[in-house]
Structure 1
């Protein structure tokens, strides 16, 4: 520490010398600039005086030689004999003034000596002729002019030209001095600013250095506090593998590693038998680098812990090698994830159970209808007793179905909620990476962070996990190590233009068996683990969430499953009551409101009436009293009466009205409905076909 302070003191002294040297150099330059400015100002004043003198001389000469001056008075004396004496007197005054101006020019501008001599000779010639003119008696100006004519143009004009050239030269020199003076002033101001800046910078440097020392001390204290509160055990090892520093968490949870008689590496191998040479724990405490590795060990206290390990070898301030090791106990997190996985498995089983229940109830419904038909055709008492026994057996089957349905509610579709799709897909990506480890990778494209849907989070996640498991089993079956599962999301629409999110899961396996792509085969399995079970879960989920489902094999290999689910509707966009513009009425018998929502939206856009019943009994009670132009009913309506009863009534009473069964069950499972000769449309696969039928019925453009 003392050495560090000595180094800092030397640096401060050196900075002071550099500062003083800079100030001294700037001051010297400033003095030179000031001296140059002084000399420049003196020269500028001299040039200014010279210009003034030249201007005065030129003005005097122009005044005395020009109009009203010497030459003008001489000519008037010649031309006006009667006023000769007055003009000659003025001429004498002009000569005196010119001679004075010439004397000034000779004193200040020696280089003008010759033009001035010529001008004086011309003046003397004029003076002599003026004297002759004063003694001459004449009446004809032409006679006098021939006697006193003087040639003065060259002398006077050359003098004036020289004076003007001298003035221009002096003016140019003066302007150069002014420019030089401005430059010197600017340089001086710049030097002053630089000196002020250097002084201010030095002041702030000293102040910041002092604040930096205080800040460093404060940050060190905060860092120490954060290390204690991070929840991780942090240890520092020297080059020999001995623990030289440890926070309180490390001392509490891993105190057995801190032993003066052995290195941390030796203590680990002795205290934790599960640790093997080369694994994460051993590598970290051997001075190696470990990046975010999760390990699980039985500890000396009998606990089983999951640890996340991070270690980094670094060079210490003294040049010696050291290693920082961070151990984070994630046992509770791992246990929670395992519990969530078990929960999702229950959801998956619930989905399967619910699908089985619905199919089983469909079979029971068909048997009941068949028994009723047989009972009407026979009168044999023994046969009627057999029919009654069969009905009792069907009642037992119904009870079993109800019990199985109650179980499926704990793991089936569950409560609906609105959630972000990106969060779900991110979790799927993490879980998928573990599922595919050793066989391939999972890639998430364009997750749309703002995408939100309404449904059951765990049910959707479980269905998508089933698809990843299907891909993993296919990769494993074909010994594929470069498998790829790519998941993408695109903005789309579902029936009647309702906004939706299309989730696409594609892999590069060998694809589904052709026979499995048939609607009649979904739900069946062709191997251990099966393809069909996973597809059945996805198909059932699509129907439950009012979405659409599609599965196909890719031309380039592999398979693609699309799950198009309605987007969560903002409350401000919910469709309330509306005033239809047409009298036609579409009736829907469906026990789920969210499945009815797109039909209500479609009817609003078509301008027709929309009537929705959730129970077959309510529909049968009200259908005779309302107008029905198009009838849609589900088959399984979760009560004693089913869609069969609604269809049978409509066939008998509404012979000209289009009737459609809209169900998640496959058509081959509904022979009784098929016997009534009405279209059966699967909710998850053929909803757009139903939309087309409605649009054709009400003769409107497609959405």
Structure 2
């Protein structure tokens, strides 16, 4: 083998092994080579990229400038990206824009200039930064709010004290109504500061060891008489449940807030599910999904089939004074109080919502495990989930959320499977019709496009009867998905899930397929 052939073989091996996208182009911007990672990140087939302009991978504004940049560099040698690297945006086949870090190198082959681009997908990094920034923003708002509420309480103390002194010193009949109105208003102000202090995590909680089932049952008994007959409340309480250390009064208030918000979101009628269960977060994947430290928790989920929340509303949902119901008298304090109470209790809140379909809140409280029981328990060594089978199966992952899809790919590859991916049910169906060879389809339930998860599963059952399907959903139950049309039940793995749960479901389905 001569040196040229060796160099070509080495380059091919490097591009194949690289986890980042690598693209080779000429000085006109024509793509000469691309690796599998580039095809995956930009969602193109590799053959569709070769020979095309690299501008196809850029937003229109950047693509319009790119040729000028290249021409300027060739004429002057000035470096703006080459050998420097910078954060830019890329464009996928479906038109979605996503963040990238781009590094460009160049060389000459005979009389031709060659440019090599290495691109790292920053989608997950940006999502993590956004989540951290949101948490830090809420913490900063909480600190500021706590300080304001503290000072405001001092002012109210002086106001209320002076009003009471005037009342006791014999105000006349004309003055008394004014004093009482002022006192009532001051009490409203005091209630406002109390709610601010809850959000700021400076309220005086009185935690006791509690059974969430009892607290929830008592609260829902009151709510059933107030939310109206057109709203159905379902419960799903686990038979075996760890106790938690919480303030029952604040928990009752939080559940009331979530339930009344759900009622407003459902309009004239709908179904609400309140579920309580133990959750063990003991692997990196689930901790990453929920942003919670590993450990034993009790999760209280409240899910509705209402109008859902926009992405902007989800990002700002827990900020005080933010409300989507200003016209109907919303104050923007309900969810802020829920967030502050749960965080002060050592827990965490998750939010999952789809416009037009509904919303699910998850309240995670640390389990109050008896110290003696913990000390006497035999330690169990953590075991990495083993691949359910070892026959080189391929799983098609169907998920519209880029970050969740990337995480799902990582999880399933970690179990030893090969993967294909699709951004929605329509694309997954096209791939199967075009001959994609897979052993199982792992699909989200709620997706944009013509085919949701149920629709995709139904088509697979008819047209690809030997192909197994596992559905997954961010909702706590089928409250939302129950309204979707489907002729047969399909197994649903609820998000967030543990790696061992995923391994078990895949093993059961693939074993059943092999036996069949």
TM-score (norm 1): 0.24
Relative contact order (alpha carbons < 8 A, sep ≥ 6): 1 or 2 greater?
2
Under a length normalisation based on structure 2, what TM-score does the superposition of the two structures give?
0.32
Instruction: Name the structure where strand makes up a greater proportion of residues.
Output: 2
Query: Which structure: larger Rg?
Result: 1
